[in-house]
Amino acid sequence: MDERELILAVLQARMGSTRLPGKVMKSILGTPMLFLQIERIKRARRIDKLVVATTADEADNILADECQRRNIAVYRGSPTDVLGRYIKAAMDFEPEAIVRLTGDCPLIDWIVIDLVVQTYMNGRFQYVSNVDPPSYPDGLDVEVIDYAALLIADAEAQLPSEREHVTPFIRKHPERFSATNVRAPVDLSALRWTVDEPEDFKLVRAI
């Protein structure tokens, strides 16, 4: 594949969740939740590489060490400037686009990932997601961002919310960035499959 067409999945994850500390490393069937999610992501056919983007905080040493032990690429950066962390995590790969995924979505569907990425590839949009507005269950969130557009966002985004949540700057400027949304055949956005609270983790573990 031409290097300029490389599709890079960047999975942001950290141990410092306030509502459920250490959730990404909590064990399900003997495997940390994050790595069950990575197994699902790797089934996607439209993703060429994957890197875990975590923080330089000491609390995330265990996460980074486990990634390295499993031969999973990992980048460590700012705990608050997540947009900057994404850019730096992707620099060595020089991707065409980044697939933004978060470590609180262990039930992520690789078919949905491929659908969103394929929509990006077919339409040559700069931003494609299934969250604006949402129609899939909360926890199947996928965003695909043209890397050149993300570089612009990194250079211009100033608000803390724009730095922490990665894509608000692009979403707030539809006149500058071509975008589209992928909708589910049936609106299932009322369903909650993400992991933020202890009850969420119990549900995912039961599944």
CA pair distance 202, 15, nearest whole angstrom: 18
What pTM does this model have?
A: 0.95
The pLDDT of residue 76:
98
The pLDDT of residue 5:
86
CA pair distance 207, 109, nearest whole angstrom: 14
The pLDDT of residue 91:
95
The pLDDT of residue 17:
82
pLDDT digits (tens, 9 = 90+) for 19-57: 899 999 999 999 999 999 999 999 999 999 999 999 999
The pLDDT of residue 1:
38
Q: What are phi and psi of 27, to 5 degrees?
A: -85, 135
The pLDDT of residue 3:
43
